[in-house]
Structure 1
Amino acid sequence: MITTDDVAFLRSRHGLKALENTDQLALTPTTLIADVAELRARYGERAPALAETVRCRRRAVGKLRDPQRWLLTEEALQQATPGVVAAHRAAEIAARFPGVLVHDVTCSVGAELVELTASGGVGGVLGSDLDPVRLAMAAHNVDGATLLRADALTPTSTADVVIADPARRRGGTRTFRIEETSPPLLDVLTLYAGRPLVVKCAPGVDYGTLRARFGFDGQVQLVSLDGGVREACLWTELDDSAQQRATVLRTVDGEVRCEEITDLDPDDAGAGAPGQWIVDPDGAIVRAGLVRHWAARHGLWQLDPKIAYLTGDSIPPGERGFEILEQAPMKEKPLRKALADRDCGSLEILVRGVDVDPDQLRKRLKLKGSAPLALVITRIGSRGVAFVCAPGVRRP
């Protein structure tokens, strides 16, 4: 376990040189014992901290801005907000509340603070945490933020905007229960009521219960990055009336593209017969309950009113679609024949609304051809259906 003394060493001139030397080692599972032994011979008790820091930096590539300069622990890296997501939030805070003082009351090693200070649109940035090791790391990772050791449930500032990220692990496992976060989510919402508050939660948070049982009346934002849903974010004190929002972020050629949709957008997409394409909406849109809103925006419709698969005659920009080749009954024998007739050798299987294990089904279909295809399995009414499709393509 890394200590504050370790952090002080890692930040020193000798520690920075030791990190450079450590980065020359493989530090893979097969070489780790020997590599750490070599580090112990050179740096004594600092060897584990050096190895963990370098391994974390390598895993942080693509997640954090300039990862080779960060001090991290494995747990802190797992919990850190991806830089693209944090930067988008920082820009939004600066746009909604220009010139304000922002306080991250669970700042950890500073993933949010880095992007807030880089945004330049806020008046000041303050970070606090109970963990002295993470605070010491944040002092290295972040320039321009004031840091202090404090409990998130003990108000230590009169900052205009508060950010919190309650830990979502209990007993070593991830939890989605509202009452099991640390600090408790409801305590955070209560303590900072009356000023703008941004609380990051697990994507699977039960926001319906949060509204119905606990009276939360703010906005729930679901955020995805490059196809993976990263978090739910609770916003209070906003000047718009949207209750649900989906934010879809994608990195394309080094640039970040963003699409947002809310429950204020039209939702008049209906259900009907299959068009040319099947489109599986981004997970943030599905989790936010905004499938019909997004479909209406892009001229799509649902195959079934209760299923998230959409269909239409074109693919929305940036999205992936599957061109329908034929529709088949959801029975293995005719499916096997339909795929064999098309010389199918590899098969991507997508399933919604039907209890089917794609891996097990793929084995039973006994594919022997050479052509790649896709199979979309779903339900229309009470009937299971399968669509044999060309491989998925993404529209620029």
Structure 2
Amino acid sequence: MDRPELDALLTREGLALLDTLDPVQTAADVARVVSRLRAAGHSPELVSAVVGQARLRRRAVAKFGELAGRMLFTRAGLEQATRLPVATHHAERMRAAGVGRVADLGCGIGGDALAFAALGIDVTAVDADDVTAALAAYNLAPFRPGTTVAQGLAQDADLSGVDAVWLDPARRTAGHAETRRVTAADYSPPLDWAFGLGERLPTGIKLGPAHDRDALPAHAEAQWVSDGGSTVELVLWSGALARDGVRRAALVLRDGAAHELTAPADTEDEPDRPLGAFLHEPDGAVIRARLVGDVARALRAGPVAPGIAYLTGDAAITSPFVQSFRVREILPADPKGLAKALRTRGIGTLEIKKRGVDVDPAALRTRLGLRGDASATLLLTRVGGKRIAVLADRV
């Protein structure tokens, strides 16, 4: 979205037209709606803006639920926005720490700020991009006057009167549509500045989950977060927002519930062991936080091989920090032998998972030529330098 489109959209006519628009899902829908609106005399800028917003609102339901129907987005802003259930946990931590006003620096379209404001926390929101800041102001309008939005650099924000800072450094190039990742050295604001701020004020800094662990500041609590099975972020908490004695945490959000592991440091792994009756796949947040050892001990399990994040054991127990599978048997690992074994067993529906092996599950599925009414899970991994294929059932 460019400035002329934004100016056309943020009018009584533009917003009313957006709210009355028919669903826009397919390319045919787009062509039909654009033709109708242009024939009705609407400007190209307004037509482009409302059709684009209709499509983005539909996509945004996955992150914002019903709230998406009253929000405005850019494509890049939606892609980079925090999912609402995750943002709610950020806000709950702020509220539990007694934060009354938070500065949201690099607020984007306002995903986190919405969660802060919804829990009664006043927000000073800042974004460097003028279009993005304008959309954030629209999205946060119901929470005025306690919430304000301004366009500017994080480093120039007035932090007087705030109790804490939420900071989401830009990790991609500027733009509203196509963007690309940049290296940590090019984040905006710079990480050195952000980490220094975290030593002066209670701060939450959102980073990508694969951020270099060796570059994490020693004073901060590092919390990896997964939502619905996807590891979505790493947050560094400092000051009053960090918990005593916690430096590593894995927060797992799944099926409306939250589960968390915490530790003062990375935990020691269990020794590897032979394949048992069960295989467990730790959640990505647990792996990133290096808390797999704690999960293994709770399950009375150990890794199938050094450096492989599949746990195995004979105890019929599971946990919210893993996906568990009951082992049926080991099958031939080569595609030809595997295909024959699966056809013999009548398996036509197969979930394929892998760790430690270079396999394209989609290409393998095509080669297997699956047929039959039975279903199973196939876990491909490497043990003792040899590839193995484990046929199993989800617990």
Same fold (TM over 0.5): yes
The question of 1:112 aligning with 2:112 is answered yes
Cα separation, partners in 2 of 1:105 and 1:375, compared to 1, 3 Å = same
The question of 1:335 aligning with 2:333 is answered no
Q: Is the 8 A contact 1:25 1:35 kept in 2?
A: no
The question of 1:183 aligning with 2:186 is answered no
Show the 5 A alignment for 1:61-100.
61-65=61-65, 66-95=67-96, 97-100=97-100
CA–CA distance in structure 2, aligned partners of residues 119 and 167 of structure 1: 25
Letter in 1 for 2:246: A
Q: Is the 8 A contact 2:278 2:325 kept in 1?
A: yes
Q: Is the 8 A contact 2:332 2:338 kept in 1?
A: yes
Cα separation, partners in 2 of 1:174 and 1:314, compared to 1, 3 Å = farther
| Secondary structure of residue in 2 paired with 1:18 | helix
CA–CA distance in structure 1, aligned partners of residues 297 and 264 of structure 2: 12
Q: Is the 8 A contact 2:348 2:371 kept in 1?
A: yes
Residue 58 of structure 1: aligned partner: 58
Residue 300 of structure 2: aligned partner: 299
Residue 199 of structure 1: aligned partner: 205
**Residue among 376, 379, 387 paired with 2:379:** 376
Q: Is the 8 A contact 1:175 1:181 kept in 2?
A: no
| Secondary structure of residue in 1 paired with 2:76 | helix
Residue 33 of structure 1, CA deviation: 3.3
Residue 227 of structure 1: aligned partner: 229
Residue 11 of structure 1, CA deviation: 4.7
| Secondary structure of residue in 1 paired with 2:156 | coil
CA–CA distance in structure 2, aligned partners of residues 188 and 289 of structure 1: 24
Residue 172 of structure 2: aligned partner: 169
**Residue among 22, 27, 30 paired with 1:29:** 27
**Deviation readout 1:86-137 (Å, 9 max, x if unpaired):** 0111101211x214321001112211111001123x4x32111122222222
Q: How many residues were matched structurally?
A: 379
CA–CA distance in structure 2, aligned partners of residues 207 and 268 of structure 1: 18
| Secondary structure of residue in 2 paired with 1:272 | coil
CA–CA distance in structure 2, aligned partners of residues 20 and 224 of structure 1: 33
Q: Is the 8 A contact 2:126 2:150 kept in 1?
A: yes
Q: Is the 8 A contact 1:179 1:186 kept in 2?
A: no
Residue 308 of structure 1, CA deviation: 0.4
| Secondary structure of residue in 2 paired with 1:55 | helix
The question of 1:260 aligning with 2:260 is answered yes
CA–CA distance in structure 2, aligned partners of residues 19 and 173 of structure 1: 26
| Secondary structure of residue in 2 paired with 1:385 | strand
The question of 1:280 aligning with 2:281 is answered yes
CA–CA distance in structure 2, aligned partners of residues 306 and 193 of structure 1: 34
CA–CA distance in structure 2, aligned partners of residues 81 and 234 of structure 1: 15
- Quote the sequence identity (%): 35
| Secondary structure of residue in 1 paired with 2:356 | coil
CA–CA distance in structure 2, aligned partners of residues 11 and 381 of structure 1: 62
Letter in 2 for 1:302: P
Cα separation, partners in 2 of 1:140 and 1:285, compared to 1, 3 Å = same
Letter in 1 for 2:14: G
Q: Is the 8 A contact 1:267 1:296 kept in 2?
A: no
**Residue among 317, 324, 329 paired with 1:326:** 329
**Residue among 112, 123, 134 paired with 1:136:** 134
CA–CA distance in structure 1, aligned partners of residues 335 and 286 of structure 2: 32
Q: Is the 8 A contact 1:276 1:323 kept in 2?
A: yes
CA–CA distance in structure 1, aligned partners of residues 365 and 18 of structure 2: 47
CA–CA distance in structure 2, aligned partners of residues 168 and 325 of structure 1: 44
Cα separation, partners in 2 of 1:216 and 1:267, compared to 1, 3 Å = closer
Residue 176 of structure 1, CA deviation: 6.2
Residue 241 of structure 1, CA deviation: 3.0
Q: Is the 8 A contact 1:70 1:140 kept in 2?
A: yes
Cα separation, partners in 2 of 1:270 and 1:133, compared to 1, 3 Å = same
**Deviation readout 1:288-331 (Å, 9 max, x if unpaired):** 22211222234333222321011233352455322211123534
CA–CA distance in structure 1, aligned partners of residues 7 and 181 of structure 2: 33
| Secondary structure of residue in 1 paired with 2:305 | coil
**Deviation readout 1:338-358 (Å, 9 max, x if unpaired):** 323312223222111122332
CA–CA distance in structure 1, aligned partners of residues 114 and 335 of structure 2: 53
Structure-1-length-normalised TM-score = 0.87
CA–CA distance in structure 1, aligned partners of residues 129 and 381 of structure 2: 48
Cα separation, partners in 2 of 1:267 and 1:259, compared to 1, 3 Å = farther
Q: Is the 8 A contact 1:163 1:198 kept in 2?
A: yes
CA–CA distance in structure 2, aligned partners of residues 139 and 57 of structure 1: 17
Q: Is the 8 A contact 1:178 1:186 kept in 2?
A: no
* Structure 1 spans left out of the alignment, 5+ residues: none
**Residue among 242, 247, 251 paired with 1:247:** 251
Letter in 1 for 2:148: T
Alignment RMSD, CA only?
2.5
Letter in 1 for 2:124: L
Residue 376 of structure 1, CA deviation: 1.1
Cα separation, partners in 2 of 1:52 and 1:14, compared to 1, 3 Å = same
Letter in 2 for 1:299: R
